[in-house]
Structures are given as structure tokens and as C-alpha cells.
Amino acid sequence: MIATKILRSSTLRLSILHMAAFGLSVLVLLWFIYSSTAGFMERQTDETINAEIQGLAEQYSQLGLTGLIRVIKSRVAKDKAGSSVYLLTDWKFNPLAGNLPDWPKFKDTGSGWFDATLEDTENFEPRRVRMRYFLLPGNFHLVVGRDVSERVKVERLIVDALIWGMLLTVVLGGAGGVLTSRWMLKRIDVITKASREIMNGDLSRRIPTRGAGDEFDRLAENLNAMLDQIGRLMDGVKQVSNNIAHDLRGPLNRIRSGLEITLSRPQEPEACRQALERAITEIDGLLQTFNALLTIAQAESGARRQDFTDIDLTSLAADAAELYEPVAEEAGLSLEVDLAPQVTVPGNRHLLSQALANLLDNAVKYTPDGGRVTLSLTSGPAGPELTVADTGPGIPPEHREFVLERFTRLESSRNTPGSGLGLSLVAAAAGLHQAELRLGDNSPGLRVTLAFPAGRAKS
């Protein structure tokens, strides 16, 4: 089973591909070394033979045939190793001087160069000889050569090294590919096993890491972070479902009870009309709740980003202030407005207007009589900031993250009308516009700030 996995693994195929490329590189390198070494030795041999022929030809022209014979015999006598080959013959190829017993047999290539294998009578081993034929004036034939047996041995060693190098490359590369595949398969099998356990329902299962900091550890960390986020989202969905069931059960029960009472008294038209009005009011509240949930879902999914245009935040904030100023006066509050001119950001105007309306509505709703609500817009190097502050009871620091969740309401606000979706919508709008939502202390009261990124603002 493991062998089949290894053979089918992409790691082994990549290793084989890498081995082939590396082997080809080694082959080219060794062939270059062989060609350079063998070519150099061959050129050196040919240059030596040419130099000797030229020297003997000069001796012949100066000393004549007798002097040439004497020079050849002297060179043969000095060459104890027999590395040089000489043969001087007459026009009938009868030997006159040299260390060859007779004229060698070779195929004339026109250049005078040829290779021959000579029998060594002393060592009983054949010798490879590189020779050149030369015709002297007077129809005398001269052959000069060099023993290249050592050069041939060196060439064979290089060829053997090339072959063994390729074999070792293949063996070691294959072994390395198998070992690498086994190691990677073990790491992948750990991830696969954990994934299967998670798919089978163990949502608390996480992928283990080795602490090496390699790409597998980084992948495992990212997958674990993704699983944590999925877990949080699932918990959020469960919580939202529970909250929906809890918060919508009351209005539905009231609608049902009112209709049942009305049915029991059909002879009273006025009571029927009032019951229907109350039912419509309750249904409107339910529709508002569902519309708010839909808006939050669209904002969090990014669906509203396609409707982005350049929005004049100054104008948007001024319109909201104008709308809520009479509401604040009716509640016995003062509404202070301080807006920087001509601040523009890209965004969804409807969603930002709804988020700002929720902040102002909450500020007016929770601020006691005689309090103050402040709406301000500033623009600086860090980006524009839209702030709504009040002098109400505020939100304790430990609850500020909690109140951004859907249907979340503090105990102190349970008796106040609302669905607990206002700040959730503001948080979704902030996320869609890449703005930072900050909840702070206004001493007393709450300060809510939407801080837009600087690169997206125009002023």
C-alpha cells in the first residue's frame, strides 16, 4: 500500500524529474571534462610528433641520409621507455633505422596521420601508437609516432567515471526521491487523517504541527485557524438561531393571542380593527428585524461592495443630524454637530446612512433627559473619523465586544424597545468599508467611532 502511494505520489515524479535534470547536467559536465582532457592530450601528442618530424627533416637536409640515420639511432637509444616510434625506409620500404621491425599497415587518409596497434615483444601487451607518415626527398619514407597507451587508459578511466557517476546519480536520486516521498506522505497522511475525523463530526480535532516552522507547519496553522473561524461562525449561527427563536417567539405569541381573542368576539368591529392594527404593528417589527438581518448578511458577505460610489460624508452626516435634531429636542436632549467640510470616501450610501442612523437612534434612546448627543466628523492623516457620543449610561468595557453580536442586549436595556441588531449592523457596515469600529468611554456615556482608512478618503 505504501509502495503504491509512493509510486503514485507527485513528490516521486518531481524527484525523478529533478534527478533526470541533475543527471543530464552531470553527463554534460563529465563529457565536457572528457572532451577537454582527451582533446588536450591528443593535440599535445600531435604537436610532439610534428615537432620531431620537422626536426628530423631539418637534420636530413643538413646532414643527409647518413646523418639522419645517426640521429634516429641516437634518439631510439635515449628513449629507454620506448614511448617514441621511428622508422626510416628506402623507396622499397626496407628499414634503414628506427625501432619498428617493418613498415606498419595503415589506411592512407591523405593527411598522413594514422593509429595502429603494435605488439610489445617485451611486455607481451599490445601498444596503441599514434603515427604520421612523411616522404623525404630522395623517395625515403619516414614514420614518427608516440605511444598513446597511457592516454587511452586515462580516457577509459574518464569514461568509466562518467558511467559510474551516472549510475550513482540514478541510484542516489531514486533513493532520495523515495525517502522524500515517504516523508511527505507521512506529513500529508497526518493532515488527511485529521481532516477525515473533522468530516466525521469531531469539530474539535485540529491538525498537529511539529514546531519546525516549515511549509507543512504553516499549512497546518492556517487550516487550524480556518477551522477555528468556522467553529466560531457555527457557534454564531447557533446563537443567532437561538436568539431569533427567543426574540421572535414573543411577537408571534402576541399576534396569535390577539387574533384568538378577536375571533372569540366577532360582534365587536372596533375590537377587530384594533387587534388587526396591533398585529400589523407586530408584523412590521418582525419585518424590520428580518430586513436588518438580511442587510447585515449582505454587508458581511461583501455583496453591497458593488454599489460603492464616492460619498460625501459631510453631507451624509448633516442629513442625519437634521433628521434627528427634532427627535433629540423632543427627548429633552441637545444635539451638537461638528463636521469637517468636503470629506469623501468610497462606499454604500444607504448602508452608511443606516449605520449612522442606528448610532444616533441608540444615543437618543439611552441618553437621559437633559443630556447631550454629539455628532462629529474629522479628517486627518490617519483618515476621516465619524463619531457619535452621548452622556448616557454607556457600555462597560468587558461588554463592548459582546454587544456587537446579533440580538445582544444588556440587562439594563431589556425594557427599551429594540431588537439588538443596531450595533451589529454598524459593525457589518464598518467591515464592508474597511473601517475600524471603536467603542470608547465618553465619561460619562458612550463614544462610537468609525475610522475610515486614509488611502480611501478624499478631502
pLDDT the model gives residue 337: 92
pLDDT the model gives residue 123: 57
Letter string b/e over residues 320-350, b meaning 16 or more CB atoms within 10 A of that residue's CB: bbeebbeebeebebebebebbeebbbebbbe
SS3 85: strand
Q: Which residues share a beta bridge with 388?
A: 375, 448
pLDDT the model gives residue 459: 44
pLDDT the model gives residue 388: 94
Using the 8-state DSSP alphabet, how is residue 345 labeled? E
Distance CA 43, CA 35 (A): 12
Q: Provide the grid cell at 340.
A: 469637517
How many residues belong to the chain? 459
Q: Tell me the pTM.
A: 0.49
| Helices 349-366 & 269-301 angle (0-180, nearest 10) | 120
pLDDT the model gives residue 414: 45
Q: Provide the grid cell at 16.
A: 525523478
Nearest alpha-carbon partner for 88 in 114, 106, 70: 70
Number of H helices, E strands in the chain: 8, 12
Nearest alpha-carbon partner for 289 in 249, 239, 237, 348: 249
pLDDT the model gives residue 385: 92
Using the 8-state DSSP alphabet, how is residue 343 labeled? -
Peptide bond into 444 cis (omega under 30): yes
Tens digit of each residue's pLDDT, the chain (459 residues): 445 655 555 666 666 676 677 777 777 877 787 777 777 878 888 888 888 888 888 888 888 888 888 888 888 888 877 788 888 998 888 888 888 888 887 776 667 788 787 776 555 567 788 888 888 888 898 889 888 877 778 778 877 877 887 788 777 777 776 777 777 777 778 888 888 888 887 777 888 887 777 777 888 888 888 888 887 767 766 666 666 666 677 777 777 777 777 777 666 677 777 777 878 887 877 777 667 666 666 666 665 666 788 889 999 999 999 999 999 999 999 999 999 998 999 988 888 888 899 899 989 988 999 999 999 999 888 889 999 999 988 888 887 777 777 666 665 454 455 566 778 888 888 888 888 999 999 888 999 999 998 765 444
Hey, what domains does the chain have and what are their CATH numbers?
A: 2-155 (3.30.450), 230-295 (1.10.287), 302-456 (3.30.565.10)
pLDDT the model gives residue 170: 75
With contact defined as beta carbons under 8 Å apart, do 61 and 105 qualify?
Answer: no
Distance CA 152, CA 312 (A): 89
* Gyration radius of the chain's alpha carbons: 50
Residue with cell 578511466: 157
Element (H, E) at 347: strand 344-347
**Contacts within 8 Å (CB) and 24+ apart, 237-240:** 239/405, 239/406, 239/407, 240/406, 240/407
**Contacts within 8 Å (CB) and 24+ apart, 155-161:** 155/34, 155/37, 155/38, 155/41, 158/30, 158/33, 158/34, 158/37, 158/38, 159/34, 161/30
First-last CA distance in the chain: 67
Distance CA 348, CA 303 (A): 11
Distance CA 359, CA 321 (A): 11
Q: Where are the beta strands (DSSP E) in 76-158?
A: 84-89, 95-98, 113-120, 125-136, 140-147
Distance CA 131, CA 342 (A): 98
Q: What is the DSSP string of 177-221?
A: HHHHHHHHHHHHHHHHHHHHHHHTT-TT------SS-SHHHHHHH
